[in-house]
Amino acid sequence: MREATVGIDRLDGRIIVLLAREPRIGVLEMSRRLGVARGTVQARLDRLQSNGVVRGFGPQVDPAALGYPVTAFATLEIRQGQGRDVRAHLATVPEVLELHTTTGTGDMLCRLVARSNADLQRVIDRVVGFDGIVRAATAIVMENPVPLRIIPLVEQAAQDSEKTQT
Amino acid sequence: MREATVGIDRLDGRIIVLLAREPRIGVLEMSRRLGVARGTVQARLDRLQSNGVVRGFGPQVDPAALGYPVTAFATLEIRQGQGRDVRAHLATVPEVLELHTTTGTGDMLCRLVARSNADLQRVIDRVVGFDGIVRAATAIVMENPVPLRIIPLVEQAAQDSEKTQT
DNA sequence: CTTTCACCGGACAGGTTGCCCAGTGAAAAC
DNA sequence: GTTTTCACTGGGCAACCTGTCCGGTGAAAG
């Protein structure tokens, strides 16, 4: 299942961008706007999904609206050989939105949310209240000037593949 | 536009979870599986979206499949008063997937992707090649044991609101 | 020159959407 | 206690979209 970096062309890029801007749009409407046949859009979409370029269309839920307006990043230092256990532990904490193992200072980086700054303490306690975590450094998010985005990269990739061709 | 933390009940939670598991599902099919009337699901979904709980259904694109298999987090230290310019600068870099301003060590944290470790150098150069950025510390992601997720939190929130009631 | 392939334009049945409505039960307001 | 409010139900309707299949075309590859 090693996905071998599949390129996308301009049409693919436009499909993704269109989908990102108006997710509820249908294949037919897309084909109209892009000026291509419906079958083409359908085939491209199928390919993008089986390619793994487009993973899915899950709902984007705002933690703040759920009552978790505080976001933080925690850098964790792990005791040698405890990685597996720590990962399993963190996976059970709902407030842990994602977890990465990294190089550099610290061994893991995780994104947390909490109901308030006070509640963040509870979350952190739960996160680090586990053997194997030696130390944790937390950075609370104040502002989010660039929310998670992918479109600029998609456009970049679409352009690159064009240049590469011929 | 201050969204005032709206609670969700079990049905809302089930709708979101269902949508997350099978994004292409329609309102009618949802109503069948949840055992409620179609109009109810429709109304709930509308409410969740105008609530801001569900932001949308944009395509989830995998950077790796686009040719950007390397992810990294960079902690940036900013020169006093340069925040605005730095934000604007980083927003123009496609490889910057998100950017936060934080408390703690460093002033900003951003997520980067690159075509390779070597390419990461180019990205970092471009990111920090800007007046106002004093220092940058980069952590390369090796593994991603917990990919960005929201469902556990949704379930938590749905349960909480139940307990709160009565 | 022939094969291959992506795309086009069109067609079809079946399912779904958006919308509306009256009826019901329960909780809230009076 | 009575009335109002509100979410939900179950149903119906026209318009639309989806999945699917088809033959035809042009360009690129063999």
Task: Write out the residue range of the structural domain in which residue B39 sits.
Answer: 10-59
Residue B163 lies in a domain: no
Minimal Cα–Cα distance from A59 to chain B, Å? Answer: 5
Minimal Cα–Cα distance from B69 to chain A, Å? Answer: 8
B166 falls in which pLDDT band (50, 70, 90)?
A: very low
Residue A51 lies in a domain: yes
Domain co-membership, A44 together with A103: no
Rounded to two decimals, what is the model's pTM? 0.90
Minimal Cα–Cα distance from B154 to chain A, Å? Answer: 7
pLDDT for position B27: 96
CA of B16: which chain A residue's CA is closest? A59
Task: Render chain B in DSSP notation, one character per residue.
Answer: ---------HHHHHHHHHHHH-TT--HHHHHHHHTS-HHHHHHHHHHHHHHTSEEE---EE-GGGGT--EEEEEEEEE-TT-HHHHHHHHHT-TTEEEEEEESSSSSEEEEEEESSHHHHHHHHHHHH-STTEEEEEEEEEEEEEE-S--HHHHHHHHHHHHHH--
Per-residue pLDDT of chain A (166 residues; tens, 9 = 90+): 445 567 899 999 999 999 999 998 999 999 999 999 999 999 999 999 999 999 999 999 999 999 999 999 999 999 999 999 999 999 999 999 999 999 988 899 999 999 999 999 999 999 999 999 999 999 999 999 999 999 999 999 998 876 554 3
Domain co-membership, A124 together with A78: yes
Distance CA B95, CA A95 (A): 27
Domain co-membership, A101 together with A49: no
Total structural domains in chain B? 2
Nucleotides of D under 7 A from a protein CB: 7-12, 16-22
Of A91, A148, A160, the CB nearest to B146: A91
CA of A7: which chain B residue's CA is closest? B66
**Chain B CB contacts of A95 below 8 Å:** 153, 156
Domain co-membership, B38 together with B91: no
Domain co-membership, A79 together with A26: no
**Chain B CB contacts of A10 below 8 Å:** none
Protein CA at A37 to nucleotide C1' at D24, angstroms: 14
Domain co-membership, B82 together with B47: no
Query: Residue B33 CB closer than 7 angstroms to strand D?
Result: no
Residue A125 lies in a domain: yes
Domain co-membership, A86 together with A131: yes
**Chain B CB contacts of A138 below 8 Å:** 104
CATH number, position B80: 3.30.70.920
Residue A49 lies in a domain: yes
Cβ of residue A97 closer than 8 Å to a chain B Cβ:
yes
Domain co-membership, B67 together with B125: yes
Domain co-membership, B54 together with B99: no
Last residue of a domain, one of B20, B37, B59: B59
Domain co-membership, A67 together with A47: no
Residue B152 lies in a domain: no
CATH number, position B47: 1.10.10.10
Last residue of a domain, one of B19, B34, B59: B59
Q: Which nucleotide is nearest to A9 (CA to C1')?
A: C6
Q: CB A99 to CB B150 under 8 A?
A: no
Domain co-membership, A94 together with A116: yes
